Amino acid sequence: MGKGNRNRQERAEDKALNPEKYVKKKKSNWASAIVGPLLAALILVMVVVVLIGNALTNGGVIMRSQTAAESEDYEVNGAMMTYYVYSSYSNYVNYLYEIYSSMMSSSSSIDVYKYMGIDPNVSLKDQVYDEESGQTWFEYFADMAKTQVEQQLVYAQAAKEAGVKLDDDDYAAIDQNIEMIGAYAELYGVSFNSYLANNYGKGVREKDIRRALELTQLSAKYAETVQNGFFDASTEESVTAFYNENKNDYLYADYISYKLVADKNDDAENADELYASDKDAIRAAADKLLACKTEEEFREYLKSYVATLAKETYTDQYYDQYVSESTAETDEAKAEEAMGRIEEKAAADAETALASILTEDVAYTTDTDLGAWIFGKDGAAAAKVGETFEVVDDSKDADGDYAITVYMLVAEPARKEATTRNFTYLLMEEGSYTEADAKAALTLFETNGDLTSEGLLKLGESYEKKSACTTLEEAALGSTGVDELDAWLFTDDRKAGDYTQITYTYEDKEFYVIVYVDEIGPAEWYIACRDAMVSEQVTEWYDEASKTHVVTINDAVVAKVNM
């Protein structure tokens, strides 16, 4: 609070306690004898009401006394709902920040609010999110929060019915979250309550967040129980049946393609003639690509085509320059050296073009001409490996823009058969450990008499500064994010019981990994089908549970959230 605000607050409190100091003295008469005390009393009442109102608002008493959502046995008050709405807002901002950060080389200059079209200094209730419906940004995040709260109340009510409660570990996790908030408050040099007010809304206190976290923890705990129940009940037969009913959703194909473009240069004297000539040229090139029977033929022709065009362009642009730069003794040698440099640039262009023509894991669709060709539509057979197809874009031909894209199928539509890996790893970070320490740890693992994932986890307990020691299940091909680990883990001859020590570098720091293969998991298509099947079952369960455990949302209270 600023000095001016403190002085005003002190004066207001003084007025409430000592009103006589602030009542102007007047000449005594019968009117002032009666009206004076009444006026002083009225002023006193008004000041006290204002002070109490501000205190109740800032302290969250009013919102805490009102019910924003409820089920049979659980309630979310207005202060808790304020926390939920603010959390929806901050989570959305953080999500966008991560998205934009991944797209840009530097995150320091990213203004997420600008991308959202939000002024953080103006109430979200005064900023429109959807122009067509008139929905404000506040209503957008409030709807998010209401959906979250409704789901949590349904799961919490179902948990109570099933006798599921929070245990010591759950409460410890909640305490850790509260402690983290306190750590952030200390980091920014503000009081705990000030940090809460700034980040979760005025009036929100620790007890409100704790109650919300308890509800969140309980609902998440039972949601996991429900989901795990369906996972445990799934069988190879049920997953296979689900796949047979939804085969198309698990088909993927690979193709190579190249886009040939003719652009009209309006600045050229004979622009129309040149444009027509370029269209004929790319038509001829497209026919050559369409005539290819194998991927190798396609690539060889494309390599030659791109290199030839690039050579012509670079000759016009650089030949004279390269000749003048040459230190050769004869004109013939200078010309030869210049052409050599041009051919190198053209060959590099061709390699660059070839490196980007493969498209993998194209999901099933027949909504486009390309998709209909790949997967088949209306009785037409799906494409075969080596077959070609073209898409002509002449929609802007009148403006001098014409293109032909030629495709060749290189992998027919099929489900993903690659098997997954279940593995346990001990990760040791440079600074705390060296590669020698990692090799010594591997030796301990080999000699401790317990060459299992449990043995590695037990070994990990003795490394206090370890970064991680845990088990990953059903890791898909190339999904660990560490090339060195993927290269070892996903070889065809990898089997359960294999182990090794791997060193890799990330952001100029060495990391040492001891990895043990628990088992070779099911195929990727199987996991995808099983997960989709369980997701449908959970959704069906929730739909029924929400009918049994009815949740009521008080929109009037939600609307009072100050944001």
The separation between the first and the last C-alpha atoms of the chain, rounded to the nearest angstrom, is 20
pLDDT greater than 70 at residue 538: yes
For residue range 230-273, list pLDDT tens digits in order.
Answer: 999 999 999 999 999 999 999 999 999 999 999 998 888 898 99
> Which pTM value belongs to this model?
0.75
pLDDT level of residue 228 (50, 70, 90 thresholds): very high
Structure tokens at 405: 């894209």
For residue range 176-196, list pLDDT tens digits in order.
Answer: 999 999 999 999 999 999 999
Could you tell me the residue ranges of all domains in the chain? 3-58, 67-233, 252-414, 419-523
Report the DSSP beta bridge partners of residue 405.
259, 391
Secondary structure (3-state) at 402: strand
pLDDT level of residue 36 (50, 70, 90 thresholds): very low
DSSP for 473-501, written as a single string: EEEPTT-SS-HHHHHHHT-TT--TT-EEE
- State the architecture of 419-523 in CATH terms: Roll (3.10)
Pairing of strands 128-130, 75-77: unpaired
Q: What is the pLDDT of residue 10?
A: 41
Instruction: State the average pLDDT over residues 350-371.
Output: 96
pLDDT level of residue 15 (50, 70, 90 thresholds): very low
pLDDT greater than 70 at residue 13: no
For residue range 302-327, list pLDDT tens digits in order.
Answer: 999 999 999 999 999 999 999 999 99
Whole-number Å distance between alpha carbons of 521 and 505: 28
Q: What is the pLDDT of residue 60?
A: 65
Q: What is the pLDDT of residue 448?
A: 86
What amino acid is encoded at 526 in this protein? Y
Q: Which of 147, 151, 29, 142 is nearest to 86 (CA)?
A: 142
Instruction: State the average pLDDT over residues 407-426.
Output: 95
Between 261 and 110, the higher pLDDT residue: 261
